[in-house]
Structure 1
Amino acid sequence: MRTDPLPGTGSGAAGPPAGRDSSHRSLALAAMLFAVSMTFIDQTIVAVAAPRIIDELGLSSSGMQWVVNAYLLALAAFFALGGRLSDIFGHRRVMVIGTLLFVISSVLCGCVPRGDFAQTWLIIFRALQGLGAALMFPAALAVVIAVFPVGKRGRALALFFGVSGALTAVGPLLGGWLMVWTWRAIFWVNVPIAVIALVLAAMAHIPESRRRERLDVPGAVLVAAGMGLSVLGFQQASAWGWSSVATWACIVGGLVVLAVFCRYELGVAEPLIKLGVFRDRAFTVDMLVLFFAMLAFVPVFFFASVYAQISLSASPNQAALYLLYFFIGFGIASQWGGRILDRRGARPAMKLGTALGAVGFALWANKLTHLSMHDQWPYAALAGAGIGFLLAPASTDAVNRSIGASYGEVTGLTQTVRNYAASIGIAVFGTILTHVTTDKVVDTLRSDGVPAGAAHDAARSVAEAVTGNPDAQRPTGTGHVATLMRDSMDAVRLDFAEANQWVFYGMAIALAVAFLCAHRHPGTRVTQDTPPPTPASSAQDVRGG
């Protein structure tokens, strides 16, 4: 097995090849930002167009949910594979392949024909979008890491994560604007973005490097099956119910497959993921901090948006602007976090970020029942700042400690952990929100004189709004019961806000746990003059056994 470092890493390596000037680095960073921006925007943009797609193509609500989930499932299942392919075949090459697969799939999603095959068509090409993103993202991140020396890497990755993460909030806003023309444009918009990314990548003259190793096909199949099954179980828990045999069969079955995968990898000479990296305590702490932080970071986009539309009666575009409070804090703090990483290492940034995040989410939760955006923005910004401080330092520190400079492999691993945590967060918090909302709305409507049956139906409608239909909470019809329900909507909005408090307090607890994990970080700083203390120091550790 090859264990010599790639350019810019390993013992005594100070950065990318000589002659790599700052303008080429900037072009490479810009190219990677344009490429990954598509993956972040697509996580939220489809949800805005879902009602229009359902109406025009005649899809069922469950079918539309599969259209959304197909992307996320493929993303989670193939991230580790994407990172490994990036190492073996070259970061630039795999980024280009992933970008082309993503944009071609996007075009075909927008060209979906009407008729019985529409749902299957969308699910297939949304899954291929997810596969393209899984190839593209770890390769793009590896390119940024490879072209920037360790001493400048923190700021570069802070910009990478800050800008690309903020683009998630652009999805709903951009989707609302594009739908004035046609909902199909939410997929076609990826074409000009991909062209810009590919042109900039060509101009940057990104150096290519490869690891001469075989692809661990059995490992790739096991990790894809394990991640796919368990994520499917978490995603479908709200539809199947937590008491469903199918839910737990997927979750437990997926975890068992992942356990088999780990055992298999320890005995393979050239594994998909070298698990020996977890022997570095700092790397393990980085992964734990990312896991617990991601329980809040990705789900907050979804729950804050739905809260704004239901409790604050905001439009989708106004809900997107509401999320900008969070991203203002996130964007500013991500730059500071990168500077702290470069000067003092990851531990101070992670401790500060997790502490601010825990406090910010708790204070934000306390203000949700005020039903005023104006009262909430400082706490939303504080919560965003907490995530901004920790995200790039934890991710960068983990990659700096990678075995044998396996950038793609470890970026794939970190992104797999992040997506897995996000799926769990959405499922668990979604279940909490649904149950608490249903109980509170039923009590409110019955106290206002609404019959039990109608109260339960209305409560379910509000709860179903959590799955992406913000109009579901608005009762329609005529007569005494409909009038009673419409008169109760102010109280129902407050009920939904109180239910969301449980979710946001849960996010605060997740960040508090991440804070405790950050304290376990050894605090050693990876610099240009100090090679990362990874298990790559011995061939035995590189094999993970």
Structure 2
Amino acid sequence: MTSPRTRWFGLLFISLAVSLIIVDSTIINVSIPSIIEDLGITSTQVQWVQESYTLVFAALLLVFGALADRFGRRRIMILGMAIFVISSVIAGLSQSGDILIAARVLQGIGGAMVLPTTLSLVNANFQGKERGIAFAIWGSTIGGMVAVGPLLGGWLTTDYSWRWAFGINIPLGIIIIIGALLTVTESKEAGNNRGIDWLGAVYSVIAMSTLVFALIEGRTYGWWEVNKEFTVGNWTWPGSISIIPVMFLIFVLATTAFIAHGAARIKKGKPALIAFNLFSIASFRNGNVAAMVISLGEFGIILSLPLWLQFVIGYDALQTGFVLLGLAGGAFVASGVAGALSGRVSPVSMVRLGILLEIVGVAGVGFMISPTATWVSVVPWLFVYGLGVGLATAQLTNVILKDVPVQESGQASGTQSTSRQLGSALGIAILGTILFASVQIQLTNDLTNEGLPEEQVTQVVDSVVDSAGGAIIGLEQDPATIPIADYAKQAISDGTRYGAFAAAGFLGLGFLATLSLGKTRQEEVEKMETSGDAHVI
């Protein structure tokens, strides 16, 4: 049994591990323009540089949550951090978009090993009031790091190189590994020798990867009719319809198979990738639904804001990071607010308050966005948004896991983390599609109405969309194309605004989902004991 002091030092390194994983999902955002210029990647590759990490992350969380329960949560966390460090070296040395995307896939594997294990270690090593405080620290760390990442990435990209946005992971990862070995107590499920549900893992990976692929690539290959041939090596998709509807169909079939397979294994007393019996716990079931929808709205907007700030407003990466620091400031203030309200306001009420603040903040950002906007009009709304993220993230985790037995905390942590990451992946895919599709449609219409030849319109639109807005800089440098650059700036501003409003809409759905979060199981037991009906449980 570790001493209380060692346990809290262990939480420090656990939180640092979470910080590094979360920072890496956002640090790259402000570096994208530099990567576009250096490696010449397209807008689709821009999404995949971010999405490959999130997608693999989401697809493997359940697998590693189950493995951690069996083989040791600290062991899996440390191994994941080692993989994360190695993949950061590869990413920092990448000479092409494909290599960078491959490195991000490997980073996603490492991240998927770290995140659920940190949650289950907190759940296992802290009890009672201490657990609530520990979850608040863990959750506020996530909320703050979402925005600290862009600031750090902006500084490194502006003063050094985008490659250092990955290089900084190396020393920090080594410190975390050493610190965890010294201060974090190993934790695993006693007597868990029933094996791993590998077939369920295959189903889950297929389902998540096909869904996100379809959402990202739909505008490229066509949502129904073929816009572009889908090829892998020398093989070309032979269908008369696009590959995208087929991907959606595979997602539906794989999801159905995953649920049926898992339910059958549970019925036979065998372990499943998701402990479906945990969904009988109301707080766990309803909290996961809320977490997925909320995450869909929370992080998708982080894709478009850095592009708008740099290519439309004209800020460099460091200035962009400072603007997004408003979000971090709100998240850090939220940790203090959450502590002050602890014991006076229920966790569910705090989650609802956080979501409402997020809706106000992201909608406010949407109303402020225009080609002539400045940081003064955007930062206050980002602060409100960050305040909401900080309040909602920490307390929602507490609500979801509060009634989960400790011996199943790894699977439960993996499930709730998967809900969040799936929401984040869908958010990036959906809001990214809204951004680039709206830019393509609006810019095409504007330039056509100006009387430009169809061939020139297609060339300009493809250039702006494929560069994720980077082509605007070149258009501005030629006096003859300055009007076209103005149209492109307006199109990207409008696309970013539509994305912000869509995010607010998803957060609104998330708020509605929290209305189903009632009393915890313990509160229900106490109520029934008081009324003499405890035998019902």
TM-score higher than 0.5 here? yes
CA offsets, 1:339-391, max 9 Å, x none? 54655432211221222222222232222236122122222222222222211
* Residue 174 (structure 1) aligns with: 152
Q: In the comparison of the two structures, how many residue pairs are matched?
A: 504
Residue 503 of structure 1 deviates from its aligned partner by 1.5
Instruction: Summarize the alignment of residues 318-397 of structure 1 with structure 2, pairs less than 5 Å apart.
Output: 318-337=319-338, 340=341, 343-369=344-370, 371-397=373-399
Q: Tell me the secondary structure at the aligned position of residue 226 of structure 1.
A: helix
Instruction: Summarize the alignment of residues 407-418 of structure 1 with structure 2, pairs less than 5 Å apart.
Output: 407-418=409-420
1:151/1:342 contact within 8 Å kept: no
* Residue 5 (structure 1) aligns with: none
Instruction: Summarize the alignment of residues 496-535 of structure 1 with structure 2, pairs less than 5 Å apart.
Output: 496-524=492-520
* Residue 233 (structure 2) aligns with: none
Q: Distance in 2 between matches of 1:164 and 1:182?
A: 25
For the pair 1:286 / 2:287, whether they are aligned, the reply is: yes
1:28/1:143 contact within 8 Å kept: no
Residue 53 of structure 1 deviates from its aligned partner by 5.5
CA offsets, 1:190-209, max 9 Å, x none? 11101211222133242433
AA paired with 2:379? W
AA paired with 2:217? Q
1:75/1:134 contact within 8 Å kept: yes
Q: Distance in 2 between matches of 1:345 and 1:153?
A: 15
* Residue 276 (structure 1) aligns with: 277
CA offsets, 1:437-491, max 9 Å, x none? 233334444555644443443334333344xxx422234499xxx5343135345
* Residue 81 (structure 2) aligns with: 99
Instruction: Summarize the alignment of residues 193-212 of structure 1 with structure 2, pairs less than 5 Å apart.
Output: 193-212=172-191
1:329/1:382 contact within 8 Å kept: yes
Q: Distance in 2 between matches of 1:496 and 1:68?
A: 19
Moved more, 506-515 or 366-375: 366-375
Moved more, 284-293 or 235-244: 235-244
Unaligned runs of 5+ in 2: 227-241, 530-536
Q: Distance in 1 between matches of 2:45 and 2:430?
A: 22
Q: Tell me the secondary structure at the aligned position of residue 473 of structure 1.
A: helix
Relative to 1, partners in 2 of residues 1:498 and 1:183: Cα closer, same or farther, differing over 3 Å?
Answer: closer
AA paired with 1:215? I
AA paired with 1:395? T
CA offsets, 1:406-430, max 9 Å, x none? 2221111111111111222222222
Instruction: Summarize the alignment of residues 75-224 of structure 1 with structure 2, pairs less than 5 Å apart.
Output: 75-112=57-94, 121-179=99-157, 180-213=159-192, 214-224=195-205
For the pair 1:255 / 2:238, whether they are aligned, the reply is: no
* Residue 232 (structure 2) aligns with: none
Residue 135 of structure 1 deviates from its aligned partner by 0.7
TM-score norm. by structure 1 comes to: 0.83
Unaligned runs of 5+ in 1: 1-16, 534-540
Relative to 1, partners in 2 of residues 1:173 and 1:461: Cα closer, same or farther, differing over 3 Å?
Answer: farther
AA paired with 2:3? R
Q: Tell me the secondary structure at the aligned position of residue 503 of structure 1.
A: helix
TM-score norm. by structure 2 comes to: 0.84
Q: Distance in 2 between matches of 1:205 and 1:283?
A: 26
CA offsets, 1:4-40, max 9 Å, x none? xxxxxxxxxxxxx5x631x223211111122222222
* Residue 317 (structure 2) aligns with: 316
Q: Distance in 2 between matches of 1:477 and 1:341?
A: 53
Q: 2:3 is matched with which residue: 20, 23, 35?
A: 20
For the pair 1:473 / 2:472, whether they are aligned, the reply is: yes
Identity of paired residues, percent? 26
Residue 78 of structure 1 deviates from its aligned partner by 0.6
Relative to 1, partners in 2 of residues 1:347 and 1:526: Cα closer, same or farther, differing over 3 Å?
Answer: farther
1:27/1:201 contact within 8 Å kept: no
Relative to 1, partners in 2 of residues 1:150 and 1:199: Cα closer, same or farther, differing over 3 Å?
Answer: same
Q: Distance in 1 between matches of 2:306 and 2:34?
A: 18
Residue 125 of structure 1 deviates from its aligned partner by 3.7
For the pair 1:226 / 2:226, whether they are aligned, the reply is: no
Residue 134 of structure 1 deviates from its aligned partner by 0.5
CA offsets, 1:146-175, max 9 Å, x none? 222231223322222222332233434433
